[in-house]
Structure 1
C-alpha cells in the first residue's frame, strides 16, 4: 500500500480522536454546578457579622472589644485606612462581601487561630474567600502600619530609649531587650529540612527588639528553624548592622559617680545569644547572695523581662500563636508581622491600650517582689511560641570586661533600694 495513503488515513483517525477529546472537554466545562450558593451562605443576607457588631455596640458587655481585640473607635480607624485596599466591587452576578466583613474575618483569625474552614461557618462564605480576606488584610495593615515599628536611626533617638530604660528599670545605657521565638508551622511543601529545628519540629523564627515601654522597635520574621539559634540573630539586619557597627549607636559615656570610666551603650539578652561589646547576657551558674554576679544577673533579668512580656501579651491576645500555623512560611511571616504591628498600634492607642494590656497582664513589682503577669498562666498553652535554645558560648575578652564594668556599677551606686535583700 502506498505510504501516502497510510499517512492520510492515520491523519483522519487522529483528527477524529482530537475532535472527540475537545468535545468532551467542552461538555465537561459546561457541566452545571449543583448549586450557585449554599443555603448557609445565602443566610448571610439575613444575619451577618456586620449586623452582629451593631448588636454588640448596643450593649456595654465588653464582648465587642473581645471579638475585635480593640475598641470600636480603633476598629473604624483601621477600617477607613485599609478599606480601599481590601474592598471588592459588586458584579451583575453576585454582590461583593462588605469591607467590614472582610476585615473582621482577618481580625478573628488573628484573635482565635481558628482554621479557615471553621471561620467559613462563622462568617458564611467559603474557606477560599476567608484565605483571600486574611492575606489581603495582612498586606493592607503592613502597608498602613509600617511606621509603628521603627528602629532608631540616630544616636539621639537611641539615647531617648536608654533614658527611658534607666528611668523605669534602673539599667543605664540600655538600648533595648532582644529575644527570639520559634513559631511552630506545618511541614512546608518541598522544603526538605530547611525549617526543621532542634526540637524536631518545623519552625519559623521571630526575632524582636523591645524598648522600655513594651513596644517593638525591630522585628524580623522568616528565618528557617534549622539555622542555629546563635546564627539566627547574626542573619538578621539588626545583627549584621550591630556586628559591622552601622547602627549609629551613641558613643561611650560616663555614668554618675563613675566619671573616670566610660560605659558603652548595650542591648540585653538571655543565654541564647553570644556576649559582645554591645550585647550583655547573664553570668552562667549559681552565685551566692550579694555577689557582683548575682546583682548583675538580677538587674539584667529585670530589664530583659520587657521582651518576655511583649511576646507574652502578643501571644495571649492574638491566639493564632497558640497552635501550629497550617500555612506556608511566607504567609506565617505575614501573619506574625501583622500581629506585631497591631501590638504597637494598640499599645499606643488611648482607646485600646487599657483593654489590650489591662492592669495585671504584665509583670509587676512590689517592694522587690515580682508579681507575674496574667499572660504567664497561658504559657503552657502557647505550644507554637517556643523559646530559643540556650547554648553556652565563649565570649571575647573585651565583652567580658564590659560586663564586669556594669557589675561594679550595680554593686556600688546602681542599686535599687530594696535590692540587697533579694540579690
Structure 2
C-alpha cells in the first residue's frame, strides 16, 4: 500500500473513526488508529507488540482494531464489493471467456479456513478436518481476482457445501434471486441451445444447474479429463485470490488469537481492502495499456461469445426432477455433459486441439502435480503452431524466430521445489533459439534423460 493509497483510504474511513478530544485526554488521531489496524492485518502481530510499537495500551489496541476493521468494511463495501447486477454478471462472463476460455462462467467459488485460537466454550463447532480451529471464508471471485461475494463466519466443522447451503448467497442461488442472466447461446455452438450462466467449484460443492463441479474419480475418460482441466483453469482464480489475500495480509499465516467476532470483522476488512488495492492495480495496468479497456467490450470485434436469449424464467427457477436426496438433478447432469462435449468439440483450444495433444498435456499436468499447470492464453507465443512436432514428452517444435517460453508464462515452476525429470525421454525436441533466461534449473534432476537431438543454441543455463 503506497502513501497515496493510505491517504485515500484515510479519507474514506477517517470520518468513521475520528474521536473528539476531552478535558481528560487528547484522542488518538484517525491516521494513527488506521495505521494500528493495518499493522495488525498486515503482520498478525500480538496486541502487546503493536502496543509497544505505537506506545499505547494493549486494551487500546484491542478496541482500535475491532472498531477500525468494522469501519473499513462499512466505508468500502459499496465501492469495492457492490451487489452484482445482471449486467455485472454478463461482464464477468465476458472476461472469463476472454482470459480463461470458459463460456457463461460468472465466478469461481471456494472456501478458506481462517485459523483461530480455540474459542471458549465452543465445543467442536470450530474444529475442522485439519485438526485446527477455524471459521470459514466462502468467496466468489471473478476473472480479475476480485471478490464479488463473501460470506464470513461459518463454523470450521462445516464443509464447503454445508457453508454454501447455510449462507445467504446459497439461499439466493437456490431461490433464483441473485440476478443471474437468463440462459444464453454460445457463439459457435448454436445447435446446443441456450446454456445457463454458471459458477465453477471443486468436488466439495454440489452439482446444480448454476454450479458446475468436476467429474469425480481418477480413472476417467479423456473427454471428461479435458472438461476437468478446463474447469480447473477457470476455478484456479479463486485459489490465486486466496493466495494474494494471505500473502498481503499476513494475519492469515498465524493463529488469530481473538474472539470469533473480531476475527470475522478483520477477515471482512481484508476482503474489501484486497479489492481496493486490486482495483488500483487494474487501473494502473489499463493506463499502461496492458489490459483491455472496459469500453472494448462494446467493440463488435471483441464482443463476448454469448448471445442472450429471453426464454422466460431461467432453468434454475424451474422444477427439476430429482434422482435422490443427495444426487444432482437430471438437468444439472445433462448440463455438465453438454459443457464436456463443447470443450471437446466447438470449444477446443489450440494447445489441446487433438486427442494426442490433450493426452500429452494432461500427462504433463500429472507430472507437475495438482495446481502447478496453469498455461495462460499466450503460453505458446512464439512457437510454430502450423508445423508443431509433438515429441515423446508432448513438446512442440520452436519456430525459427524462437519462442520465449519464460516470458510467455508457460513454465517457470522449476525453482519451486525442483522438477524431477528423471526417466523422461525428450528425444527429438528442437528448442533452438529459445530464450530460457530466468529459468532456475539448479534443483532439476536430469538423470537418465535422453537428450539426443536437442538443439541448445541460444539457451542460457547459468546456474
What TM-score, normalized to structure 1?
0.71
2:172 maps to which residue?
241
Matched, 1:271 2:203: yes
Matched, 1:418 2:351: yes
1:224 maps to which residue?
155
Give yes or no for contact 1:74–1:352 (8 Å, CA) kept in 2. Answer: no
Shift of 1:350: 4.8
Superposition RMSD on alpha carbons, in Å? Answer: 2.0
Relative to structure 1, the CA distance from residue 198 to residue 287 in structure 2 (aligned partners, 3 Å threshold; closer, same or farther) is closer
Q: Report the 3-state secondary structure (helix = DSSP H, G, I; strand = E; otherwise coil) of the residue aligned with 1:349.
A: helix
Q: Report the 3-state secondary structure (helix = DSSP H, G, I; strand = E; otherwise coil) of the residue aligned with 1:205.
A: strand
Unaligned runs of 5+ in 2: 291-325, 363-463
Shift of 1:240: 0.8
Q: Report the 3-state secondary structure (helix = DSSP H, G, I; strand = E; otherwise coil) of the residue aligned with 2:191.
A: strand
Matched, 1:403 2:336: yes
Could you list the structure 1 runs, at least 4 aligned residues long, displaced by more than 6 angstroms after superposition.
351-354
Shift of 1:227: 2.6
Give yes or no for contact 1:177–1:269 (8 Å, CA) kept in 2. Answer: yes
Shift of 1:92: 3.3
Query: How many pairs were matched up?
Result: 315
1:149 maps to which residue?
81
Shift of 1:351: 9.4
1:210 maps to which residue?
141
1:45 maps to which residue?
none
Give yes or no for contact 1:116–1:130 (8 Å, CA) kept in 2. Answer: yes
1:321 maps to which residue?
252
Relative to structure 1, the CA distance from residue 184 to residue 81 in structure 2 (aligned partners, 3 Å threshold; closer, same or farther) is same
1:370 maps to which residue?
none
Q: Report the 3-state secondary structure (helix = DSSP H, G, I; strand = E; otherwise coil) of the residue aligned with 2:63.
A: helix
Kindly indicate which of the two structures has a greater share of residues assigned to helix. Answer: 1
Give yes or no for contact 2:110–2:160 (8 Å, CA) kept in 1. Answer: no
Alpha-carbon distance in structure 2 between the residues aligned to 1:230 and 1:302: 21
Give yes or no for contact 2:107–2:200 (8 Å, CA) kept in 1. Answer: yes
Shift of 1:352: 9.4
Give yes or no for contact 2:51–2:61 (8 Å, CA) kept in 1. Answer: yes
Alpha-carbon distance in structure 2 between the residues aligned to 1:414 and 1:350: 31
Deviations 1:137-181, CA, capped at 9 Å, x for gaps: 112111110111123232x32111111110111000001000001
Larger Rg: 1
- 1:19-418 to 2 correspondences below 5 Å: 70-147=1-78, 148-154=80-86, 156-261=87-192, 262-287=194-219, 291-350=222-281, 394-418=327-351
Relative to structure 1, the CA distance from residue 308 to residue 211 in structure 2 (aligned partners, 3 Å threshold; closer, same or farther) is same
Q: Which has the higher contact order (CA 8 A, sep 6+)?
A: 1
What TM-score, normalized to structure 2?
0.65
